[in-house]
């Protein structure tokens, strides 16, 4: 083979290898990627010279403009009618949708504050409110099956209280799978309550900690999905089980375009809100007996599935780590990860 022909052939082979290594660009999704405020620790109490404090949602909306984000999902408790009007004016001028984050009314005494929160969110333009039943993680929170059963009953009562309020204000309440509900459990109470104002904020990665495949999970939750937390997830082996972490889009184990396609098929108007949490990896201690206290009957195939992911695709070096970083370093790392996600979403996900 002549030198020129050899160089041409090897160049073509190299280009072909690079093309195979890159994901295919998805068709246009007809929207901009949104942002969950949980992607940032940055706040009035955690800031640096290069990343000044955010005093309110107005500041975060301005930051969304710099990201070219199309939606902001943010806490709305405590807003006054005047501030809700300011938020509405700012977000409309920027062309940014709004989704609120609220806490469930855990007692009858909580209802007045909850209704006022819903009212202000509606005035600001939110038609979907994201909430959670559990702030922590199921396998870390409950030390007995009875405690878990009590939580389930109390949570169902809280959701029922909330449903009456959101129905009156014509706002939808999306309950996230927040490392608490296994899919069949969440679907069961959604079917039981049977309200058009109740649904799901589908988090792409949370239920990996409960040994569920997000792609199979989505098939069961699809009829109820109102909004999302879009993220990619990395895993790695750990002495007590495995490590789980949000990673920049495209760096993890999820088929992001397939998940987004299925969400849009179920709900064409759905918002995709990035939740890129930059933190140390979470420990999921599946080798500890306490992990199984509230899930004594999980099929072995679920553990086998996640273990296969860890064995074949686990990568400890790919998981973000913030231990030992200064505030300024952590905020810079956080911002870089969020911006990398937005760029990937534009380049390869059709946003």
User: What are the pLDDT digits (tens) for 87-110?
Assistant: 999 999 999 999 999 999 999 999
CA–CA separation, 289 and 146 (whole Å): 16
Sign of the CA dihedral with 183 first, then 306, 252, and 62 last: positive
- pLDDT of residue 1 exceeding 80: no
The number of folded domains in the chain is 1
Handedness of CA 321, 325, 330, 332 (dihedral sign): negative
3-class secondary structure, 154: helix
User: What percentage of the chain reaches a pLDDT higher than 70?
Assistant: 93
Q: Does 135 map to a domain?
A: yes
Burial of 321 (0-12, 13-18, 19+ CB in 10 A): middle
- Is it the case that residue 22 has pLDDT exceeding 70? no
Indicate the pLDDT class of residue 9, thresholds 50, 70 and 90.
low
Please, which residues bridge with residue 100 across strands?
74, 129
Taking residues 220-227, what's their average pLDDT?
97
- Whether pLDDT at 14 is above 50: no
Q: Are 54 and 60 in contact (CB under 8 A)?
A: yes
The mean pLDDT value for 265-280 works out to 97
Q: Specify if 15 maps to a domain.
A: no
Report if residue 16 sits inside a domain: no
Q: What is the CA radius of gyration of the chain?
A: 22
Residue 308 reports pLDDT greater than 50: yes
Contacts of 4 (CB under 8 A, 6+ apart): none
pLDDT at 27: 76
Domain with 239, as residue range(s), is 29-348
Q: Does the pLDDT of residue 223 top 70, yes or no?
A: yes
In a domain, 125, yes or no: yes
Any domain includes 10: no
- Rounded CA separation 109/29 (Å): 43
Highest-confidence range of 21-25, 41-45, 228-232, by mean pLDDT? 228-232
40 pLDDT higher than 50: yes
Distances (CA, A) of 244 to 282, 287, 307, 313: 5, 15, 12, 12
The pTM for the full model equals 0.92
Identify the pLDDT of residue 26: 76
For residue 332, give both structure tokens.
Answer: 């810079």
pLDDT of 50 over the 70 cut: yes
**One-character DSSP codes across 135-198:** SS-HHHH-SSHHHHHHHHHHHHHHHHHHHHHHHHHT-EEEEE--SS--HHHHHHHHHHH--TTE
Assigned domain for 2 exists? no
Confidence bin at 13 (pLDDT 50/70/90): very low
Question: Does 190 have pLDDT greater than 90?
Answer: yes
Note whether residue 24 is domain-resident: no
Q: Give the count of beta carbons closer than 10 Å to the beta carbon of residue 299.
A: 9
Residue 324 is encoded by which pair of tokens?
């030992």
Q: What is the CATH number of the domain that holds 123?
A: 3.20.20.150
pLDDT band at 248 (very low <50, low <70, confident <90, very high): very high
CB burial of residue 236 (10 Å; 0-12, 13-18, 19+) = middle
Count CB atoms within 10 A of the CB of residue 118. 23
Note whether residue 303 is domain-resident: yes
Beta-bridge partners for 131: 175
Q: Which of 16-25, 72-81, 165-174, 302-311 has the lowest mean pLDDT?
A: 16-25
């Amino acid at each position: 083979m002549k030198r020129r022909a050899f160089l041409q052939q090897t160049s073509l082979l190299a280009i072909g290898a690079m093309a195979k290594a890159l994901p295919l660009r998805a068709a246009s999704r007809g929207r901009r990627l949104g942002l969950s405020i949980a992607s940032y620790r940055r706040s009035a109490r955690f800031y640096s010279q290069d990343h000044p404090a955010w005093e309110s949602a107005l500041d975060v909306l301005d930051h969304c403009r710099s990201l070219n984000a199309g939606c902001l999902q943010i806490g709305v408790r405590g807003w006054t009618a005047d501030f809700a009007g300011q938020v509405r004016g700012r977000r409309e001028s920027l062309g940014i949708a709004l989704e609120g984050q609220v806490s469930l009314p855990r007692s009858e005494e909580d209802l007045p504050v909850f209704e006022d929160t819903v009212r202000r969110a509606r005035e600001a333009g939110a038609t979907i409110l994201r909430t959670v039943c559990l702030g922590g993680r199921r396998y870390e929170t409950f030390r007995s099956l009875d405690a878990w059963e009590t939580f389930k009953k109390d949570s169902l009562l809280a959701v029922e209280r909330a449903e009456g309020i959101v129905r009156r204000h014509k706002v939808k309440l999306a309950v996230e799978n927040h490392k608490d509900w296994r899919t069949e459990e969440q679907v069961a109470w959604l079917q039981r309550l049977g309200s058009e104002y109740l649904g799901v904020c589908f988090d792409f990665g949370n239920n990996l900690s409960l040994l569920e495949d997000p792609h199979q999970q989505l098939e069961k939750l699809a009829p109820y999905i109102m909004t999302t937390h879009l993220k990619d997830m990395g895993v790695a082996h750990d002495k007590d089980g495995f490590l789980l972490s949000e990673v920049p889009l495209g760096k993890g184990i999820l088929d992001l375009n397939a998940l987004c396609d299925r969400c849009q098929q179920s709900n064409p108007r759905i918002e995709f809100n990035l939740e890129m949490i930059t933190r140390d990896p979470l420990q999921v201690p599946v080798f500890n007996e306490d992990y199984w206290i509230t899930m004594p009957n999980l099929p072995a195939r679920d553990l086998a599935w996640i273990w296969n992911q860890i064995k074949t695709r686990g990568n400890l070096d790919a998981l973000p780590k913030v231990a030992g970083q200064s505030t300024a370093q952590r905020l810079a790392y956080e911002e870089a990860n969020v911006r990398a996600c937005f760029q990937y979403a534009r380049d390869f996900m059709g946003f």
